[in-house]
Amino acid sequence: MSSKIKKGEVLLDIKGLKIQGFSDEKWHDIVNGVDISLRRGEVMGLIGESGAGKSTLGLAAMGYTQPGCRITDGEINFDGVDLAKLKEKEKRKYWGNRMTYVAQSAAASFNPAHRLIKQTTASTIRSGFKETNEAYKDAKDLYRTLNLPDPNNIGDRYPHQVSGGQLQRVMTAMAMSPRPDLIIFDEPTTALDVTTQVEVLSSMRAIVEEFNTAAIYITHDLAVVAQMADFIKVLRYGDEVEEAPTKEMLKNPKESYTKSLWSVRSLEKEIIPPQAPILEIKDLDAAYGSTKVLHKINISVPRGSTVAVVGESGSGKSTAARVITGLLPQISGKVVFEDADLPPKLEDRSKEQKRRIQMIYQMADTAMNPRQTVREIIGRPLEFYLGMAGSQKDSRVLELLQMIELDGRFLDRLPSELSGGQKQRICIARALAAEPDFVICDEVTSALDQIVQEGILKLLMRLQKDLNLTYLFITHDISTVRAISDQVVVMNLGEVVEQGAKVEVFNPPHPPYTELLLSSVPEMDPDWLTNLNSERA
Amino acid sequence: MKNDNDTYSALGEVGDFQQKRTRWARIRLDLAKSPLTARFGLLVILVYVFVALFAPFIAPYGEAEVFPIPYAPWSSEFLFGTDQIGRDIFSRLIYGARNTVGIAVATTALAFIIGGILGLAAAIARGWLDQLLSRTVDVLMAIPSLIFALVLLSIFGSTVTNLIIIIAVLDSTRVFRLTRAVSINVVVMDYVEAARLRGEGLVWIMRREILPNIMPPLIAEFGLRFCFVFLTIAALSFLGVGIQPPTADWGSMVRENASLIQFAQYDIKAGLTPLLPASAIALLTVAVNFVVDWFLHKTSGIRDEQ
């Protein structure tokens, strides 16, 4: 549709854009005067922690603001037209045609009642660029370019019949179908496993290059943006921190804030001498209904250490945690805790056994009752396990809050009045309140920004030292594993692939699955993806 | 909230610009933003409550006080005239607020206690308990409730207690379904799992973990359910098996004076008399619906586009 115009012409030119959001009866600044200049065929990386205004800015590049937001100042020049001044009806002619959007959660963005191909081509057909047959044929070509399996027939499936990574690629095909001039990618791979992420990234990059499309790639993962973007803009609190071509930015970031984003991945843990195991899983089988998900796994967790369990979704790592906690009784095998067999069923375990094993969840949002205050959330285990009450309980809650680097001002807050990192800290405090020996951390940092992640990981390591805690750390993030673990267990399809000290697991030779997993972790090298693809080809 | 230093600290993290307000301040703020319809509804409900509570002080005559003139016309002595045996209609309207509304509130409350507890239990326990309760409810709901209520009332007799229990049980099926449906979404939350792992009992999980989180739909349903119960009682009274004389009740008042409507062509006021209790019923139903609509909109989280 867009007439062939030579590469390099400025397509999107945003000047002094200011956006405000309405909350708590007041207008707050979200974006304060940001400039963007994007040429055809260029990919801009937009990074920053949550609350930096990057998603708002990404949507504003299309002239769109979410309900409760307004553009107060600035220009959004798209191909010579100021979108900030257009009426919604006129802007709609651009949306879905000349500019498209790929959302973070593909699963939540598709209509479950329509076939994929119909949704892929809907806007192309509606705006009359192509006839139905032609559009379908083109969609199949796009599926092929995006490396989807069975490109000719996959479009006939419904959204729930394909995997998350495939759905994310179908969404990219949908965005590509009208051959837009501009695509906004809003954290498109954040929810995916590393091995899937690599495939999605490669196909997105290929297709953007093929059609010379301009794109804005929003993410908080630096290593990912390094693979995708020509230049990177760092945002913080709605202000631009700095902008530079990708290679230059990676080599020598100028601002100290940018440097701090870079330094996150360099956490180190001192190696502690191995001790006797506090918990052992022996020949464990577990199943959901008739589907067996764990096959004779053996894991041993030494006291006072951190054992990281890595694997993709579906590898059985969370199921293992459910067996340890007693939520899912095993079929055979046993869990030995402190030299005694743990009863498989939760109801059969003593209060003391329950107290000594605590769990911290991935989504702090859903792990805390939204109607309880911090005081109630942390106070309940104290009351329940340790029989504390009144001022004794209150002072212990305060102590716990200080332990997690918060203070008394948080006592009467509800979870909704906390930030993501603070929520996770409260969950940690709740687990600590029971004075456990063994803590299961189920993807505790994967929903958080890099900087917040670092804070939480540091806190966990400090607490381990102070309180002699043992962690079973479930994660799919290899860089986290490198940072905090003593021992590593690699799981795939319900089996333990490899197990041992961190140094052993991370140094070759690897079993094939470990090799695949490790090589899929994005590195801070802009050529990493290109090299990897040529290696794997 | 901004913090401009570059070192990270958990305290200074963004996300704390939500202001802390007391419950009272929040209610005042909500009321200030409420639409006209909701305010009207609230006002009507408050007036009804006031009238119901202070009926003996407001009503000029007693509830069952009989005067020698049946079907007296509207006058300064009898504001809306008298009924077929000479009771003051205005006074009976006022007492009717107490009886009809009071019985409806009691019935709705009982329906919520039964349906709510069973619904929560079914959602938490699942398995055979859920199956048993849900299928029983299906059977009860398959029978048209008004006819079922008529049958049961003629078996057990039309006393106020029987009326309350029978309608409450029949209506608790709807409450059960709603409670079960909304609780199931909450039961799968990690915080409920966390409470289970802690070893909390069923009652704690029901009362402290789940109930506070399903209150908004339940409160809205309480309003709507109240309207239905109220109309059912009025309908049963109209049919003569509901609230029995001499207790003043709007449903039976409509029935008793229904024939007066034929006289509208001679005396418009006489024709209006049976419509007065009917409009008392209608007004309250509409008012409650206005308030429930507003409440549902407010808690649904839908932001108005500006």
Complex ipTM more than 0.90, yes or no: no
Tokens 């699955």, residue located: A513
pLDDT band at B130 (very low <50, low <70, confident <90, very high): very high
Q: Is A171 exposed, middle or buried (0-12, 13-18, 19+ CB in 10 A)?
A: buried
**Residue A198, Cα to own-chain centre: how many angstroms?**
14
Taking the Cβ of residue B204 and every Cβ of chain A, the question of whether any pair is shorter than 8 Å is answered with no
- What strand order describes the sheet that includes A332-337? A291-302, A277-288, A332-337, A340-341
Tokens 């301009």, residue located: A214
Q: In the 3-class helix/strand/coil scheme, how is A387-401 assigned residue by residue? A: CCCHHHHHHHHHHHH
User: Mutating which of B188, B190, B208, B219 best tests the A interface, going by the most A Cβ atoms within 10 A?
Assistant: B190
CB contact under 8 A, B11 and A406: yes
Which among A24, A366, A370 is the nearest to B19, CB-wise? A24
In order, the DSSP letters of A97-153 are TTEEEE-S-HHHHS-TTS-HHHHHHHHHHHTTSS-HHHHHHHHHHHHHHTT-SSTTT
Q: Which residue has the higher pLDDT, A256 or B302?
A: A256
Which among B196, B199, B305 is the nearest to A67, CB-wise? B305
Rounded mean pLDDT of A150-162? 87
Rounded to whole angstroms, the Cα distance separating B130 from A373 reads 31
- What strand order describes the sheet that includes A495-501? A357-360, A438-442, A470-475, A306-310, A487-492, A495-501
pLDDT band at B306 (very low <50, low <70, confident <90, very high): very low
Q: Are A421 and A448 in contact (CB under 8 A)?
A: yes
Q: What is the structure's pLDDT at B164? A: 92
The Cβ of residue A405 has, within 10 Å, a number of other Cβ atoms equal to: 15
Rounded to whole angstroms, the Cα distance separating B13 from A527 reads 34
Taking the Cβ of residue B143 and every Cβ of chain A, the question of whether any pair is shorter than 8 Å is answered with no
CB contact under 8 A, B13 and A434: no
Q: What is the structure's pLDDT at A265? A: 60
CB contact under 8 A, B199 and A413: no
Rounded to whole angstroms, the Cα distance separating A324 from A359 reads 10
Residues in chain A: 537
Beta bridge pairs of residue A335:
A281
Q: In the 3-class helix/strand/coil scheme, how is A302-334 assigned residue by residue? A: ECCCEEEEECCCCCCHHHHHHHHHCCCCCCEEE
User: Mutating which of B191, B193, B305 best tests the A interface, going by the most A Cβ atoms within 10 A?
Assistant: B191
Chain B residues in contact with A387 by the CB 8 A cut-off are none
CB contact under 8 A, A361 and B209: no
Rounded to whole angstroms, the Cα distance separating A243 from A249 reads 8
Return the closest-CA partner of residue A73 out of A10, A37, A30, A25: A30
CB contact under 8 A, A326 and B197: yes
Instruction: Look at residue A24 and tell me whether its pLDDT is greater than 70.
Output: no
For B194, name the nearest residue in chain A, comparing CA atoms only.
A367
Chain A residues in contact with B10 by the CB 8 A cut-off are 404-406, 421-422, 425, 455, 459
Instruction: Look at residue B2 and tell me whether its pLDDT is greater than 60.
Output: no
Rounded mean pLDDT of A412-422? 82
Q: Is A495 exposed, middle or buried (0-12, 13-18, 19+ CB in 10 A)?
A: middle
Taking the Cβ of residue B18 and every Cβ of chain A, the question of whether any pair is shorter than 8 Å is answered with yes
Instruction: Look at residue B1 and tell me whether its pLDDT is greater than 70.
Output: no
Rounded mean pLDDT of A442-456? 81
CB contact under 8 A, A419 and B198: no
Q: What is the structure's pLDDT at B15? A: 45
Domains and CATH numbers, chain A: 10-266 (3.40.50.300), 277-506 (3.40.50.300)
CB contact under 8 A, B11 and A407: yes
Half-sphere exposure of B48 (CA within 13 A, CB side): 25
Three-class SS of residue A161? helix
pLDDT band at A118 (very low <50, low <70, confident <90, very high): very high
Task: Provide the chain A residues 354-373 that lie in CB contact (below 8 A) with chain B.
Answer: 354, 358-359, 361, 363, 366-372
The Cβ of residue B144 has, within 10 Å, a number of other Cβ atoms equal to: 9
Round the average pLDDT of chain B to a whole number and report it.
84
- The dihedrals phi and psi of B185, each to the nearest 5 degrees, come to -65, -30
Taking the Cβ of residue B190 and every Cβ of chain A, the question of whether any pair is shorter than 8 Å is answered with yes
CB contact under 8 A, B8 and A412: no
For A27, name the nearest residue in chain B, comparing CA atoms only.
B17
Return the closest-CA partner of residue B199 out of A362, A434, A432: A434
Q: What is the structure's pLDDT at B132? A: 95
CB contact under 8 A, B190 and A455: no
- Can you list the pairs that A247-255 forms with residues at least 24 positions away whose Cβ atoms lie under 8 Å? A247/A526, A250/A226, A250/A524, A250/A525, A250/A526
Three-class SS of residue A286? strand
CB contact under 8 A, A237 and B14: yes
Range among A61-75, A93-107, A205-219, B114-128 with highest mean pLDDT value: B114-128
Pairing of strands A81-82, A239-245: unpaired
User: Mutating which of B11, B14, B209 best tests the A interface, going by the most A Cβ atoms within 10 A?
Assistant: B14
Signed CA dihedral, B186, B121, B148, B257: sign only: negative
For A323, name the nearest residue in chain B, comparing CA atoms only.
B197
Task: Provide the chain B residues 92-121 that lie in CB contact (below 8 A) with chain A.
Answer: none
Q: How far is B200 from chain A (nearest CA, A)?
A: 8
Tokens 């902008």, residue located: A243
Which among A51, A413, A455 is the nearest to B10, CB-wise? A455
Tokens of A346: 């939760």
User: Mutating which of A369, A377, A418, A426 best tests the B interface, going by the most B Cβ atoms within 10 A?
Assistant: A369
Round the average pLDDT of chain A to a whole number and report it.
85
Taking the Cβ of residue A426 and every Cβ of chain B, the question of whether any pair is shorter than 8 Å is answered with no
In order, the DSSP letters of B36-84 are HHHHHHHHHHHHHHHHHHTHHHH-SS-TT-B-S-TTPPS-SSSTT-B-T
Which among A24, A260, A367 is the nearest to B18, CB-wise? A24
Percentage of the residues of chain A whose pLDDT score is greater than 70 = 97
Task: Provide the chain A residues 308-327 that lie in CB contact (below 8 A) with chain B.
Answer: 325-327
Q: Is A126 exposed, middle or buried (0-12, 13-18, 19+ CB in 10 A)?
A: exposed
Taking the Cβ of residue A402 and every Cβ of chain B, the question of whether any pair is shorter than 8 Å is answered with no
Q: Is A466 exposed, middle or buried (0-12, 13-18, 19+ CB in 10 A)?
A: exposed
Q: Are A522 and A223 in contact (CB under 8 A)?
A: yes
Amino acid type, A9: E
Q: What is the structure's pLDDT at B127? A: 86
Residue range A465-474, pLDDT digits in tens? 889 899 999 9
Rounded to whole angstroms, the Cα distance separating A350 from A357 reads 11
Signed CA dihedral, A34, A40, A45, A51: sign only: positive
Q: How far is A417 from chain B (nearest CA, A)?
A: 6
Taking the Cβ of residue B15 and every Cβ of chain A, the question of whether any pair is shorter than 8 Å is answered with yes
A61-A62-A64 Cα angle (round to 5)? 105
Amino acid type, A379: G
The H helix count followed by the E strand count for chain B is 14, 0
Rounded mean pLDDT of B56-85? 80
Rounded mean pLDDT of B241-252? 82
Q: How far is A265 from chain B (nearest CA, A)?
A: 15
Taking the Cβ of residue A451 and every Cβ of chain B, the question of whether any pair is shorter than 8 Å is answered with yes
Q: Is B301 exposed, middle or buried (0-12, 13-18, 19+ CB in 10 A)?
A: exposed
Pairing of strands A99-102, A182-186: parallel
Residue B201, CA distances (Å) to A174, A384, B192, B195, B204 in order = 49, 11, 11, 9, 6
CB contact under 8 A, B213 and A371: yes
Return the closest-CA partner of residue A302 out of A160, A471, A165: A471
Q: Are B193 and A327 in contact (CB under 8 A)?
A: yes
pLDDT band at A437 (very low <50, low <70, confident <90, very high): very high
Instruction: Look at residue B18 and tell me whether its pLDDT is greater than 70.
Output: no
**Helices within B54-189 (DSSP H only):** 55-58, 89-96, 102-125, 127-142, 145-156, 160-187
Taking the Cβ of residue A446 and every Cβ of chain B, the question of whether any pair is shorter than 8 Å is answered with no
Instruction: Look at residue A439 and tell me whether its pLDDT is greater than 90.
Output: yes
Q: What is the structure's pLDDT at B166? A: 93
User: Mutating which of A371, A376, A418, A474 best tests the B interface, going by the most B Cβ atoms within 10 A?
Assistant: A371
Return the closest-CA partner of residue A41 out of A247, A196, A205: A205
Three-class SS of residue B26? helix
For A419, name the nearest residue in chain B, comparing CA atoms only.
B15
Q: What is the structure's pLDDT at A455? A: 85
Task: Provide the chain A residues 326-355 that lie in CB contact (below 8 A) with chain B.
Answer: 326-327, 346, 349, 351, 354
Q: Which residues contact B56 (CB under 8 A, 6 or more apart)?
A: none
Chain B residues in contact with A421 by the CB 8 A cut-off are 10, 13
Instruction: Look at residue A524 and tell me whether its pLDDT is greater than 80.
Output: no
A221-A224-A225 Cα angle (round to 5)? 85
Q: How far is A535 from chain B (nearest CA, A)?
A: 39
Tokens 């041993």, residue located: A300
Q: What is the structure's pLDDT at A379? A: 92
Chain A residues in contact with B204 by the CB 8 A cut-off are none
Which among B10, B194, B213 is the nearest to A425, CB-wise? B10
Residue range A289-320, pLDDT digits in tens? 888 888 999 999 999 899 999 888 778 888 89
Q: What is the structure's pLDDT at B16? A: 45
Which among A359, A418, A454 is the nearest to B8, CB-wise? A454
Tokens of A499: 């197990």
Q: What is the structure's pLDDT at A406? A: 86
Taking the Cβ of residue B30 and every Cβ of chain A, the question of whether any pair is shorter than 8 Å is answered with no
Domains and CATH numbers, chain B: 75-299 (1.10.3720.10)
Chain B residues in contact with A70 by the CB 8 A cut-off are 306
